[in-house]
């Protein structure tokens, strides 16, 4: 995998945004394998397809690429995306793509991750202010993807600080993380909320520590009167999927989480 962009493609473009788009999209189409089935390449979809930039011709998985000029392996900042409504519709129809997030600098990739599609829920998508009345596309409502709302373990590294990771391990990790997929948006939301709490605790933790998040979760889910039960249910699910262990009564241990 050559991390450098093909700079010759930039000629003829004036805007920095356009140049970045052309170079990063070209790079991905030339270098990226399918992180789900391991197929050697993924193909760029026809332009203007809604939220569907790339497709794997083998397993038919869809991908979108978002890139930013940054030099860090932390993905916490907001990323611009397209139309808010389109994005929400795609997510709730469960036919959404998985996302590549790329950081680049000096015309080369330094960090690249893949986030499985099951980690996109409405709370991850922020509506931007509609464009002003005098704008060319007045009233147009874009959106941001809030990367800090996505659990860290769902941000699977492909390139970390200039080092290309083994594709086979990336595929294994993708499929392990994706095993948490459920078809209900509500269940996805609870799972993500509880996972984000678990990530704030040490490798071994107690149920009592988890209950300290009850107030916080109650603010997010005011209609739910049994947050404790929801927490236990999600912990059970994570145990069934092999992400945590119940070591003894009320004590838990993370496994590769
Ligand atoms: Zn594939």
pLDDT tens sequence across 68-97: 999 999 998 888 888 899 888 888 887 788
CATH code, residues 7-178 = 3.40.210.30
Spell out the residues 6+ positions from residue 109 whose beta carbon is closer than 8 angstroms to its own: 3, 5, 27, 102, 103, 159
pLDDT of residue 8: 96
CA 162 to centroid of ligand 1, rounded, Å: 24
CA 5 to centroid of ligand 1, rounded, Å: 24
Residue scoring higher pLDDT (212 or 87):
212
CA 25 to centroid of ligand 1, rounded, Å: 18
pLDDT tens sequence across 142-177: 999 999 999 999 999 999 999 999 999 999 999 999
Exposure of 22 by Cβ count < 10 A (0-12 exposed, 13-18 middle, 19+ buried)?
middle
pLDDT of residue 52: 62
pTM: 0.90
Between CA 121 and CA 54, with CA 114 as vertex, the angle to 5 degrees is 90
Residue 84 gets which letter from DSSP? H
pLDDT of residue 99: 94
CA 43 to centroid of ligand 1, rounded, Å: 10
Between CA 102 and CA 23, with CA 147 as vertex, the angle to 5 degrees is 20
Residue 242 gets which letter from DSSP? T
CA 53 to centroid of ligand 1, rounded, Å: 14
CATH code, residues 185-254 = 1.10.10.10
CA 178 to centroid of ligand 1, rounded, Å: 14
The domain ranges of the chain are 7-178, 185-254
| pLDDT for 67 beyond 90 | yes
Share of the chain above pLDDT 90, in %: 72
Question: How would you classify residue 71: left for phi > 0, otherwise alpha for psi between -120 and 50, otherwise beta?
Answer: beta
CA 145 to centroid of ligand 1, rounded, Å: 24
pLDDT of residue 237: 95
- Gyration radius from the chain CA atoms: 20
């Amino acid at each position: 995998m050559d991390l450098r962009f093909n700079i010759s493609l930039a000629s003829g473009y004036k805007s920095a945004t356009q140049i970045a788009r052309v170079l990063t999209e070209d790079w991905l189409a030339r270098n990226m394998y399918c992180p789900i089935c391991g197929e050697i390449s993924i193909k760029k979809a026809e332009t203007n397809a809604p939220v569907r930039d790339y497709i794997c011709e083998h397993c038919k998985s869809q991908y979108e690429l978002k890139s930013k000029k940054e030099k860090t392996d932390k993905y916490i900042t907001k990323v611009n995306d397209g139309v808010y409504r389109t994005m929400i519709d795609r997510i709730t129809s469960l036919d959404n793509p998985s996302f590549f997030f790329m950081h680049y600098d000096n015309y080369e990739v330094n960090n690249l991750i893949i986030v499985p599609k099951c980690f996109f829920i409405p709370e991850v998508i922020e509506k931007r202010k509609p464009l002003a009345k005098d704008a060319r596309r007045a009233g147009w409502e874009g959106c941001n993807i809030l990367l800090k709302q996505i659990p860290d373990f769902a941000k699977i590294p492909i390139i970390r600080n200039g080092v290309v990771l083994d594709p086979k391990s990336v595929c294994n990790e993708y499929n392990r993380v994706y095993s948490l997929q459920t078809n209900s948006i509500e269940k996805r939301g609870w799972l993500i909320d509880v996972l984000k709490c678990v990530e704030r605790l040490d490798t071994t933790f107690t149920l009592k520590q988890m209950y300290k998040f009850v107030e916080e979760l109650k603010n997010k889910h005011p209609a739910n009167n049994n947050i404790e039960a929801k927490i236990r249910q999600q912990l059970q699910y994570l145990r069934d999927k092999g992400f945590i262990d119940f070591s003894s009564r009320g004590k838990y241990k993370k496994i590769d989480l």
